[in-house]
Amino acid sequence: MKTIKALTLDDVKRIAAAAEAEAVRNGWAVTIAVCDAGGHALWLQRLDGAPPSSALVAPEKARTSVMSGKPSKVLEDMINNGRFAALAMPVVPLEGGEPIVVDGCVIGAVGVSGVKAAEDAQVARAGIAALMAE
């Protein structure tokens, strides 16, 4: 048997606070979502001014990342490079989902939506960095 760490509510709050701080520092109105290793929602936070659709897209970016074990940008790039069959996969191939990897295991993911794709990813990575800095 393998022992795998799991996110706690305190972990999720730390991730969300750091992601929010990154978004606010840059003046970005985004939605921040965090999911567990099964892709189930643990946190959803829509900052003032974030597009309504971002509340639907951010959790799906997180779920995509946890299910693939990769940043969601990998799937977006795959499709943009001609692998159109990947559009049939049950994922949202948009940059902004980042996996949370601990001891080689994906234990969750952060998804962000609301601004440019690379900026979404930057906010997600800032949240994860706060967790890893422990």
The model's pLDDT over 47-99, given as tens digits with 9 standing for 90+, comes to: 999 999 999 999 999 999 999 999 999 999 999 999 999 889 889 999 999 99
Residue 86: its pLDDT value, please? 87
The model's pLDDT over 2-35, given as tens digits with 9 standing for 90+, comes to: 899 999 999 999 999 999 999 999 999 999 999 9
Fold for the domain defined by 9-132: Beta-Lactamase (3.30.450)
Mean pLDDT of 114-120: 98
Mean pLDDT of 103-113: 97
Q: Which among 63, 73, 29, 23 has a CA at the least distance from the CA of 43?
A: 63
Domain-wise residue ranges, the chain: 9-132
Mean pLDDT of 98-111: 97
Residue 82: its pLDDT value, please? 94
SS3 of the chain: helix, strand, coil, percent, to 5? 45, 20, 35
